[in-house]
Structures are given as structure tokens and as C-alpha cells.
Structure 1
Amino acid sequence: MSALSALRPAGPARAALRRRPRAVALAWAVLALLAVAALWPGLLAHQAPDAVSPLEALEGPSGRHLLGTDQLGQDLYSRIVHGARSSLAIGLGATGLALVAGTLLGVLAAAGGRVLDEAIMRVTDILLAFPGLLLALLVVAMLGPGTGNAVLAIGCSLTPGFTRLARGQALVIRDSGYVQAATVLGRRRGWIYLRHLLPNAVPPLLVFATVGVGSAIIAGSSLSFLGLGPKPPTPEWGAMLAQSRDLLDLAWEPAVLPGVAVTVTVLTINVVGRDLRRRFEGRNPGARD
């Protein structure tokens, strides 16, 4: 056996390496398709998602209705495609809110002194003690149901995790050589935070946010399943599951396919997020002039 062949992965490992790029490429392709469904659903589904036809209720897949119809005769394929907008809007909106709030709080805790750091982190620890969905339910219970309130509730439940991660990144950057050099050179603290601390702390948080979108989508679907998300007739995957859960004996498609859509979306986002994290690993924050 040559030295070169000894360095090559074994059969199963080599097969796994070949499958990984294919899986990642497939995930990126599915993510692009989801983006089209969210932004331009009419390109993929030509029927109106809220068109009711009682005479066609609970029909199976056919040439007219690709995935069948629900209990109101609405086209199931069209509602799933249009439902991507609501589900992704909740996931992205909540994650974006948590990212902004968590970054600001984490950097403020790392740079604001011991008292402020202790205050922010103790509140963060208390919030982390609550399950995320329970915390979201508490916020929705106070604000009421609706898409905007669901985004705010899920964003509040995700903020503590982003806060802790942002604080850790900010502490590492604060003690780095180039930040210490800027301090010795007499740079103002605010300039150092804006020029070095915040820009270098954000990239790891963006990778973490990519993975967190999947959790936000699941939480949004859970709230919609409980009737606390978008109001009917807005198509949303969790609400579709709730409306069809008692119809499994009559037709399984309305109660199963929206759940499949949630599962595929979350898996796709997680694969893409892990791919981004793998590419980012090993990169240390660099100094900025």
C-alpha cells in the first residue's frame, strides 16, 4: 500500500464525503425553492389559496388538485406553497429581532462594566430557565394572537441565547491584541466598540441565526397550531395542521402534508446553517484598521 493510498479515507468515509456535497447542494436548492415560494408563490401555484369549493372537499390528488383538497375544498398544494410566506416570515422575523436585540445586549454587557454585565446576564439566566415555547406563550397571552405578536413572542424567547453568545464573542474580542493596541493609542471607547467589537462579533451570530431560524419556524407553527398565530384564512402550515387534525380517518393529506413541509423546511435550514458554520469554523476575528 502506498503512502498516498494510506492517507485516503476508507470506503464508508469516502462515500460519506461524496454524499455530503450532494446533500448540501440539495439543501441549497430546496432553500432557493422555498424563497421563490415565499416571495413569488404565484410562480409555483396558480390557484388561489383561499378559493373555497365545498363540492370538492377532501378530494385526493388529481390533475386539477396536485395534492388534493382540504375540508373546505381549498387546493392543498396552493395553500402549502402560499403558507411558506407566513411560516418563513415568522421564522426570519423572530430570528432577526432576537439577533439585533441579543447582539446589542451582549455587547453592552461585555463593554458596560461589571454591574451592568451582572444585571443583564442574571436576567438572561432567568429567561433561559424557561422553555422557549413557554416563554413565547406567555408573551402571546399578554399581547394577543396575530402574526406580529407571534414574531415578537418568539423573538423574545430566542433573545437570551443570542445575548449570551454575543457577550462571549465580545469578551474574546475585547481582550484581543488589536483592541488593546487601539486602547493604548488613545482611541475612544465608543470608536473601538463600533469599529472593532461589534463588526467582529456579528459574523458568528449570523451563522448561529441561520440555524436558529429552524427553531423559530417550529415555534411559529406551534403557536399557529394553538390558534395564536396568523388568523384564517391566511395559509400557514401550523394552522393547517390544527384545522385538519380531526380528519385523518377521512383524508390524510390535509393533516400530514403541512407537517412534511415544516419538517423539510427545518431540515433544509439546519443543513444550510451547518454548512455555513463548517465554513466559518477556524476563522478568528481579524483586526480592522
Structure 2
Amino acid sequence: MSDLKATVCETDAGFHVQGYEKIEYDFAFVDGVFDIANPQLANCYRKWGRVLAVTDKNNTLNTSIWISKSIRLPSERSQDHRYISKHLRFDDRLRHHSKRFACAAYRRNTNFIRVPTTVIGLIDASVSIKVAVNYGRYKNRLGAYHAPLHTFLDFGFLQTLPTSQVRNSFAELIKISSCAHLEVFDLLDKFCEQLINTHFGRVEGSARDVRMAADIINREDIYEMLKLESPNLHEIGLDRVTAFSRSASSSLMTSLTHDLVTHAILGKLTIWLHNESSSSL
């Protein structure tokens, strides 16, 4: 959630406005977020007695418009309308930027609860407050900065994913850890195929040491990303150590037609950077 405090005063030429926005949002690790024995999610919207749950794969402006149009509520004067539009819960499968963008745009500021369900969603996309959608041929061309009310991190969702999706997300973990966390990088190197094949220790029958390694990797990577992203929530500074793939990823992503592009892009960029650094020695 965010809270803006501002003041206004007269000046010789006119007026001066000065404001500061307080941004705060929480993360909670939970096993079985939809289990009725775990009331954390329900408690977030219990007093309103209703919630809108959205699952979607697409990351386009049309998706955000569809979400906004799909909210069938009483008139603007109704008290219930104000309450339900304050709390929407969005559950993602591959990307959730379009849903978050809809919240930022709908009534200019609609709170939402974030429940990511992929490795990238849990570890990378969940840590920032930036929201965006693709527009035409351009990636993330329309967007905003909009913090969630709460984020629930349930890694049990990983057992439901295709192995190809887990492998694709692995590149993101390598990128983060290679930049900022050697211990996690070493664990990824040691348990690489086991982590992928067991969906980070979430498949039934997974070895205990693999599950323990996965839990360390997941928690430490999220914490590291939060430490890197939090001082720069509005991306005023673009020189971020974990963003080394952004120089060409937009062009590559829009040129590829399938979803499993993260590992391919990071691989190409890493090889290119290695060759460039080697040739300059």
C-alpha cells in the first residue's frame, strides 16, 4: 500500500507543492495458500466479504481492459462499490503484469493481493512494484508503479508446472545469484538438474537435501532481489547489477513467438558479453 502526504504553500510566483509517498507491502511464505486451514489470504479481504480472482496468461493492454470491463459492480454512489474495488486478488500463471496494470489504472488506484505461481513470478516479478503491458510490437510500453497490498509466496505451485517452465526460470536464478549471491550460485550449480526435475523439491518423493537447498535458494534470491530493488522502486536509476540482460532482451522477446525465452535471451547475452570482454583483454 502507499500513502501520500503533501503540503502546499504560496510563493512569489504562484504555489509550491511538496509531497512524499510512503510505500509499504508485505511478503508471507505459506504452504498451501488455498488450503482452508491457512486463513491468511481470506483474512485480507474477509471484512469486505468478496474478492475477484483472475488467472491469465496474456500480458497485453487488451487483457487489462478486459479485466476492468469484467468488474460488474453497483453504481459509483454505492458504498459496496468502493469496498470491492479496493481489494482485488490476482493469481497468475505465467505473467501478472497485465492484472497489476489493470489495478493501477482502474479507478486510478485499486489494491490487489499477489499470489505468483511460477519461479519467475515468485522470485523476480513479485519483488518490484512496477507494472506494465505490451502495446503493439513494443514490450512493457504502457505501465505504472503500483505496490500490492500483500504477496503470498507458495512454492507448492511449482509442482503443477511443466518441467520446461521450471528450466526456463532457472536462468533468472542464475542471473541473480551470479551478480549478488555466491552461496546460492554454488547451490544452483550443485543441484542443478535435481532442482529442475523435482520442481525445486516440490514433487512428491524429492530428496530432503534438494528440498532444503531449494528453500535456501528461493528465500535468499527473493531477499537479495528486494535489497537490490527497494532503494530504487521507481527505477530512477537504471544502472542495476541484475539488469544486464535488458540491453537487448526487449528486442529479442518481441521477435520470439514462444514463452520460453528467458533462458535463451540470458544465454545469448552471457555469451556475447563473455566474447566482448575476452576480445578487449
TM-score bin (small chain): under 0.3
Taking structure 1 as the reference length, the TM-score comes to 0.26
User: More strand per residue: 1 or 2?
Assistant: 2
User: More helix per residue: 1 or 2?
Assistant: 1
- Considering Cα pairs closer than 8 Å and 6+ residues apart, tell me whether 1 or 2 has the greater RCO: 1
